[in-house]
Structure 1
């Protein structure tokens, strides 16, 4: 059915693409009017078309729109009280098109106000506006616009973040900035913070936000008082569009081929039609009426009651074999705008996205302690996303209502063979069926209101709902005993359980911000102040259900014969109904938990100018944080945190020349423990071969940050910069191996202290300085060289005087790209290279050294060609062309744990390749 659907979709797209009509319709002129010193929007500026009666005033965002302009070339005059007027010539309007002209205004004294008129051309002013946007950020930032995203092969926001200077991505979704692990980042969407999407770490899964829904993305590497204070690496801000310039409809379809997977045999557990849309139909869920944990652990259930309960569980342990089809990606984006005669505007953007992908990862080498396994993983993934943004602009006011919803279903089957020295069994066959369902909804209602003197008041109310559920994770091992493979169904460990979990989190947030222009030191300055509150409430309910083989007198079956049954029979209703198994729930009272946090904050900051060269953005943020976490174990105290933090910051910019800045920044930030890091819940991770457990004694980390940056802008859209940074941590939070009892588990802990410092280089430059024929060739690179040192004396074992790099920190990050456009921008070629240095995955334990991840060279390429008068575009992309292996290995002061015979796998824990991805897509704009 899906192949027919995809074929019909391609045919429909080609038919629609072949219909193109063009009429000599009026055009529009739009853009943003901003202050030349700080890029603040100028509210109520007037824009007039000389020689006509047409004009407009800017709204709360500083945006103007002139409708119904006959095609031709015009001169525009822009006026605003306290600023020199501007006349911009050569503004060309094309039929049915939108011409964008952003204008920068310069403040002047009252004496010269009526005599100064600055003249320029459309091209000159466009360049000026781009320069101002690049230069006028209050802090040190790096970002990517929607235009750059369109030119890359990136499909999700996590892919986009790979291109940002100093940023790397782990597991294709978690972001590391400046060598700091993902837990030291803060993520926000449309101005309000995003919660963690993961049950076992503090991280936001950026792969759930499709790249083509992003208007722009900014990483702030230095703090300003108006940003949340809980970050040290970067504050990642994602913004989506609201009011479009024109009505539009965009349809796209993409099909991908993976060298490991496509058209090859693909193994899986049972699957339902609804799984293709991200929602399991309930067949994996724990049945209603199933006995509670208390009833099971109390031992009050009779054997017949236990058998009746076990018969309710889904008995389907079949392994299905299919041929993997192409990966698929579809998106429809719809935009509408209504312009009223009064100048008011209403706009809406709605987008629907569907992705389905299959991924086979074969021959995964897995060596740990006394294990030596080979894994084959098969993952079925579906992503269903929707965005619906609505906005109404009237006068100096604007109301927006933004919504994003995303649903991800990952259904993985793992088949493992190999040696387990702990049990003395020479050969094992382990299977794991693991489905994870993740959902995110975020709704944001915002009001922006402008007043006299360009002051502005903004209020925001938002709600986020997070779900992360694992229904019926089933793990079973067969060991070779006396020439026969027998199931470990007489064991009662978490590695053999059926695991069910439900994580639900609600986040309510509100904030208000006010900005007031002032005249200080004979310069225009801005005072900003605001307050915010956020309340989080999380519940987590796990179950570890074990079907434990009965033994002893009174049972009429042969236990050894049952253990020798194949996987698709051993838990069948015919076997279970013979009272073969007892029912156990090995969840502990400390595993489920409920938690809530309440964060209240307020800030004040001044954006001061000192002459024409100096700009100082300074102030402080105060955050009051309360946390309560309770499990169901009455013998353990609840976790309480009650912290008050004062977080000052200062960002100084010195304009060396009109094209160059020198920046210096100081800030104090924090890193709070995430709920999961505090919860004592123990989760057995069969891919790590260990249990991950929280630590209720974690403390908040405090960080002092220093930054220095030199940046020069050779021409519009181009940059050369050099940055240096230094970070001093007290009580940094990290993850490590916990093996004091010779069991390879993992936990969270506070190291004593750490420092992190480095330099970053960034270049984005057209190559026309080599030869004029390369004017359409752009080279860009960003390189980060980083050093960190952590003092970690948890154990008596001393390695390098208890000094090591921070967990997740890479000593270097390299991104290189080359973009080429030709044939009047119809043909676009993009080549991308990425390499991340060797970094710690888990800190060392008492007996085992640290686990590191080896570097990989990653090359991506994309070829795009526009057709049908630029209404349509074909893209051919290749990702991870080299397909180098991912390799995790031990590294320490001893060779005791070196595993593997070949030199390339010395000390290897995990070793695998994910294959090369080739994707062909077509997008059409109607």
Structure 2
């Protein structure tokens, strides 16, 4: 019995002793190529305690608490000794290492623990050694600046702007030319018709880094031009971590306002989805009888509708943000396990007192330079939105293999209510009192399985991603009442009426890729692989309207029409009743597929690295639907393209810290399902109509880049770079207006276009000026671009009438029409700048950032319609955090967004005329306070 107790006690003591150990973990990379080094030995000096880096270059060494010296060795590389490495009990010390080849003398390099690498240095190494022109932001940057999500962090990346706090634009190009991937795999965003993904769904706490590829190589998808943004999550967290944060945000113009517009929704709106309250109360195939038949089914169906048509007013609450994260890395004798679980929840109230939308055209009198207002819509708009995301991932690494699985879910529910006055100055001269109630529910569910295998010298990796996406708009309600001489009427001829519609979009996305890498020679490698993406979409819309037997002299109250006593009955034949309004042209089904294969090689000739190859992509789209003329399409083959996309990237090392890069790549941009359709999609808030275009074709782009970059020594994150770029577009896709309907838009191909410009980036700690400034970092990046579309060759109708001729026909007196105009979506300049203070003890950080994107053409005016431009949004933000506690595991963060109270405005631009508003929102200034704790 005593022996058993002794063994038990010894076992417990040994477990306790092991629990007191700490870990040194990190990655060993080749200083010449930036690649991971497989088989490097990381040993505690004077002992046999250590580890060997795996095929990803990662290592993990358990050590007793205290100061240690580590020796890192690898055949034909300089031995590196790291002194004064501090290890704490139960904690992880991160040590990223870069070894340099030195076959001639193999000298040992001795450094102190102060030289331990960090993620910023890793990003710089990637930039320095990458075959592509890349920029990025690291997890360390997220921690240092207190960025909670990607929307605020991405503004510090060269040539990148964040639109609406959600979407990334690269080099001023719009979403069509920017692709967002998650762990290298394409996933649809909450808006499935955008090429990019809403980035504020990704909390920074679970991200390894974000890399922006600005040049093409054959191992990347061929349908990006401005850039590809790859969001990489942590497969193996450095240490066990559990964190929780709660944030409150206050905007004086939006939060705690008693006049917030709303309406009665469902019990689960706070979770981002409708509980069935707004679902269609009868079958979508149900026949609606005419009221003249006096059938009781009509009354039953009318009464089944939710009776609320007018807005309510209530007090809004504070915006809230909740984040939870848990992850760990478990090292066993023969394998390593990593896992992460993350949940992020946001609720947001937005209230705009003076939203305005306008439709303007040029006057028939060419001497009148001011635009003529056809219709102006002014009023209030309130929006309550919920956004949550969850990510669960697990990884297993053993011997020469890594397997990873992840499940990602994001859900967004947006309830909008608007009350406004619409005034028509052209056809009807009517004044309408509008009430608009909408709800949009969007979700993306994604699963990724992946594996990496080292088979001798051959490295094989594969990834498979499956995604289900849904956009569900249940029970949009639009009520317009005409007011004439204080008399209210439901006059359809003036645009008055009551509309109800339901829309449902479902999409399936399957994405598979396989890559192989085979090194040869001293520093060369050969890569090849294949990929496939298949999408299947179904879009349904069901339109109805409410009519009434009495349309004149009704109350100016939308809720009047569906009150129980005012609903039509077969016996009385008086009141409001349901009427069908089918629009088969809005329903469609579509499939698309892109199958690809590629080969590329990377060769080193002294200081010159050459990366070249080609990608083959076969793209197809099929469409089933009906157009407004009644023509039907049954799996019509609307896109059939085979593209060979060559690429050449050259990197010449002028010195250890300086490179010159030159690159050429051929890429494409393909239309979305919505664009390449016969559908007409109505937006009740803006009162504008999007029209699909089945004749739309893909865009082909030739990309040229030249870059000089210098990575300063002695300071992680410090660099200077200047780039020149040129892009030639064949068939650039842009939005244009209709001649007779300035509020309606459609996509079209714009023929030959080009954009060229320069980027300058500078990041530096200010200690080189004076030692006391060493804790202050400054960074700025500026992109200046010019774009041109040859409008003399751009035909706008089948007769060959060009845009140049159209502009001449509608030119104002004294106006000169140029041969070219800017491309849509291309900004002439982009400026990002930040000033950051961080104390040496990591207790406080202050970050001030500024971002602006120049005025850009957003919609091309046709005929008498003027061009629509987007006004620059001057975003100035401040973020301050303070850490507390013995382990600095408590953090309070205070922030101010939109300090300058900038407006989001689109406006009509016409020669010599006064500014006319297309749309305007005033988001105001937001203050935030967040508490976070890490266990």
Q: In 2, Cα distance between the equivalents of 1:797 and 1:417?
A: 33
Q: Relative to 1, partners in 2 of residues 1:486 and 1:162: Cα closer, same or farther, differing over 3 Å?
A: farther
Q: In 1, Cα distance between the equivalents of 2:716 and 2:196?
A: 35
Q: Residue 330 in 1 paired to residue 328 in 2?
A: no
Shift, 1:259, TM fit: 1.8
Q: In 2, Cα distance between the equivalents of 1:147 and 1:566?
A: 56
Q: Following superposition of structure 1 onto structure 2, how do residues 185-196 of structure 1 map, counting pairs within 5 Å?
A: 185-196=178-189
Q: Relative to 1, partners in 2 of residues 1:82 and 1:515: Cα closer, same or farther, differing over 3 Å?
A: farther
Shift, 1:490, TM fit: 7.9
Q: In 1, Cα distance between the equivalents of 2:746 and 2:232?
A: 35
Number of the residue aligned with 2:814: none
Conservation of the 8 A alpha-carbon contact between 1:506 and 1:536: yes
Shift, 1:910, TM fit: 2.6
Q: In 2, Cα distance between the equivalents of 1:23 and 1:419?
A: 76
Q: Residue 464 in 1 paired to residue 459 in 2?
A: no
The structure 1 residue matched to 2:437, chosen from 427, 433, 436, is: 433
Shift, 1:273, TM fit: 2.7
Q: In 2, Cα distance between the equivalents of 1:862 and 1:125?
A: 27
Number of the residue aligned with 2:163: 170
When structure 1 is superposed on structure 2, of 322-331 and 73-82 the one drifting more is: 73-82
Number of the residue aligned with 2:866: 849
**2:838 counterpart SS class:** strand
Q: Residue 924 in 1 paired to residue 933 in 2?
A: yes
Q: Residue 737 in 1 paired to residue 732 in 2?
A: no
Shift, 1:171, TM fit: 3.1
The structure 2 residue matched to 1:96, chosen from 87, 90, 104, is: 90
Q: Relative to 1, partners in 2 of residues 1:302 and 1:518: Cα closer, same or farther, differing over 3 Å?
A: farther
Q: Following superposition of structure 1 onto structure 2, how do residues 506-545 of structure 1 map, counting pairs within 5 Å?
A: 506-519=508-521, 523-545=522-544
Number of the residue aligned with 2:621: 627
Q: Relative to 1, partners in 2 of residues 1:200 and 1:105: Cα closer, same or farther, differing over 3 Å?
A: closer
The structure 2 residue matched to 1:656, chosen from 651, 654, 657, is: 654
Q: Following superposition of structure 1 onto structure 2, how do residues 703-782 of structure 1 map, counting pairs within 5 Å?
A: 703-714=701-712, 715-738=715-738, 740-782=739-781
Q: In 2, Cα distance between the equivalents of 1:271 and 1:152?
A: 38
Q: In 2, Cα distance between the equivalents of 1:148 and 1:95?
A: 26
When structure 1 is superposed on structure 2, of 566-575 and 722-731 the one drifting more is: 566-575
Number of the residue aligned with 1:698: 696
Conservation of the 8 A alpha-carbon contact between 1:60 and 1:448: no
Q: Residue 229 in 1 paired to residue 222 in 2?
A: yes
Number of the residue aligned with 1:8: none
Number of the residue aligned with 1:883: 901
Conservation of the 8 A alpha-carbon contact between 1:489 and 1:549: no
In structure 2, the gaps of 5 or more residues are 1-16, 361-373, 797-802, 809-816
Q: Residue 568 in 1 paired to residue 559 in 2?
A: yes
Number of the residue aligned with 2:52: 57
Conservation of the 8 A alpha-carbon contact between 1:226 and 1:530: yes
Conservation of the 8 A alpha-carbon contact between 1:487 and 1:564: no
The structure 2 residue matched to 1:914, chosen from 912, 923, 930, is: 923
Q: Relative to 1, partners in 2 of residues 1:914 and 1:402: Cα closer, same or farther, differing over 3 Å?
A: same
Q: In 2, Cα distance between the equivalents of 1:272 and 1:532?
A: 42
Number of the residue aligned with 2:392: 388
Shift, 1:745, TM fit: 0.8
Q: In 2, Cα distance between the equivalents of 1:547 and 1:526?
A: 68
The structure 1 residue matched to 2:879, chosen from 840, 851, 862, is: 862
Q: Relative to 1, partners in 2 of residues 1:34 and 1:300: Cα closer, same or farther, differing over 3 Å?
A: farther
1:376-395 per-residue CA deviation (whole Å, 9 max, x = no partner) reads: 11000111211101111111
Shift, 1:908, TM fit: 2.5
Q: Relative to 1, partners in 2 of residues 1:825 and 1:491: Cα closer, same or farther, differing over 3 Å?
A: same
Q: Relative to 1, partners in 2 of residues 1:645 and 1:296: Cα closer, same or farther, differing over 3 Å?
A: farther
Q: In 1, Cα distance between the equivalents of 2:352 and 2:846?
A: 30
1:78-128 per-residue CA deviation (whole Å, 9 max, x = no partner) reads: 33345444333332222332111122233455xx69x65544444446388
Conservation of the 8 A alpha-carbon contact between 2:790 and 2:820: yes
Q: In 2, Cα distance between the equivalents of 1:208 and 1:590?
A: 34
Q: Residue 549 in 1 paired to residue 548 in 2?
A: yes
Q: Relative to 1, partners in 2 of residues 1:313 and 1:131: Cα closer, same or farther, differing over 3 Å?
A: closer
Q: Relative to 1, partners in 2 of residues 1:243 and 1:768: Cα closer, same or farther, differing over 3 Å?
A: same
Conservation of the 8 A alpha-carbon contact between 2:127 and 2:134: no
The structure 2 residue matched to 1:141, chosen from 134, 140, 158, is: 134
Q: In 1, Cα distance between the equivalents of 2:551 and 2:435?
A: 21
Q: Relative to 1, partners in 2 of residues 1:724 and 1:106: Cα closer, same or farther, differing over 3 Å?
A: same
1:192-223 per-residue CA deviation (whole Å, 9 max, x = no partner) reads: 11225325554433333334333211111100
Shift, 1:131, TM fit: 5.0
Q: In 1, Cα distance between the equivalents of 2:354 and 2:179?
A: 36
Q: Following superposition of structure 1 onto structure 2, how do residues 825-844 of structure 1 map, counting pairs within 5 Å?
A: 825-844=842-861
Q: In 2, Cα distance between the equivalents of 1:573 and 1:199?
A: 40
**2:674 counterpart SS class:** helix
The structure 1 residue matched to 2:821, chosen from 801, 804, 810, is: 804
Q: In 2, Cα distance between the equivalents of 1:713 and 1:200?
A: 39
When structure 1 is superposed on structure 2, of 836-845 and 779-788 the one drifting more is: 836-845
Shift, 1:742, TM fit: 4.2
Q: Residue 356 in 1 paired to residue 347 in 2?
A: yes
Shift, 1:827, TM fit: 1.2
1:562-597 per-residue CA deviation (whole Å, 9 max, x = no partner) reads: x43621221234322435345433342221111111
Q: Relative to 1, partners in 2 of residues 1:591 and 1:45: Cα closer, same or farther, differing over 3 Å?
A: same
Q: Relative to 1, partners in 2 of residues 1:584 and 1:492: Cα closer, same or farther, differing over 3 Å?
A: farther
Q: In 2, Cα distance between the equivalents of 1:217 and 1:247?
A: 22
Q: In 1, Cα distance between the equivalents of 2:699 and 2:290?
A: 41
Q: Relative to 1, partners in 2 of residues 1:577 and 1:689: Cα closer, same or farther, differing over 3 Å?
A: closer
Q: Relative to 1, partners in 2 of residues 1:480 and 1:152: Cα closer, same or farther, differing over 3 Å?
A: farther
Q: In 2, Cα distance between the equivalents of 1:35 and 1:23?
A: 32
Number of the residue aligned with 2:12: none
In structure 1, the gaps of 5 or more residues are 1-21, 551-557, 899-905
The structure 2 residue matched to 1:873, chosen from 885, 891, 901, is: 891
When structure 1 is superposed on structure 2, of 873-882 and 458-467 the one drifting more is: 458-467
Conservation of the 8 A alpha-carbon contact between 1:104 and 1:125: no
Conservation of the 8 A alpha-carbon contact between 1:248 and 1:334: yes
The structure 2 residue matched to 1:820, chosen from 820, 837, 841, is: 837
Conservation of the 8 A alpha-carbon contact between 1:652 and 1:663: yes
What is the number of residues matched between the two proteins? Answer: 874
The structure 1 residue matched to 2:237, chosen from 232, 244, 248, is: 244
Q: In 2, Cα distance between the equivalents of 1:154 and 1:807?
A: 31
1:705-760 per-residue CA deviation (whole Å, 9 max, x = no partner) reads: 0001111112321111111100000011111212x224531000000110001111
TM-score of the pair, normalised by structure 2: 0.89
**1:273 counterpart SS class:** coil
Shift, 1:802, TM fit: 5.1
Q: In 2, Cα distance between the equivalents of 1:486 and 1:200?
A: 38
Conservation of the 8 A alpha-carbon contact between 2:491 and 2:551: no
Q: In 2, Cα distance between the equivalents of 1:643 and 1:105?
A: 46
Q: In 1, Cα distance between the equivalents of 2:770 and 2:59?
A: 39
1:433-461 per-residue CA deviation (whole Å, 9 max, x = no partner) reads: 111111011111111111323x3111111
Conservation of the 8 A alpha-carbon contact between 1:396 and 1:451: yes
Shift, 1:529, TM fit: 1.1
Q: Relative to 1, partners in 2 of residues 1:297 and 1:200: Cα closer, same or farther, differing over 3 Å?
A: farther
1:126-163 per-residue CA deviation (whole Å, 9 max, x = no partner) reads: 38866533311211111111222234464443333333
**2:443 counterpart SS class:** strand
Q: In 1, Cα distance between the equivalents of 2:293 and 2:752?
A: 52
Q: Residue 499 in 1 paired to residue 539 in 2?
A: no
Q: Relative to 1, partners in 2 of residues 1:52 and 1:202: Cα closer, same or farther, differing over 3 Å?
A: closer
Conservation of the 8 A alpha-carbon contact between 1:83 and 1:106: yes
Q: Relative to 1, partners in 2 of residues 1:538 and 1:491: Cα closer, same or farther, differing over 3 Å?
A: farther
Number of the residue aligned with 2:783: 784
Q: In 1, Cα distance between the equivalents of 2:133 and 2:872?
A: 28
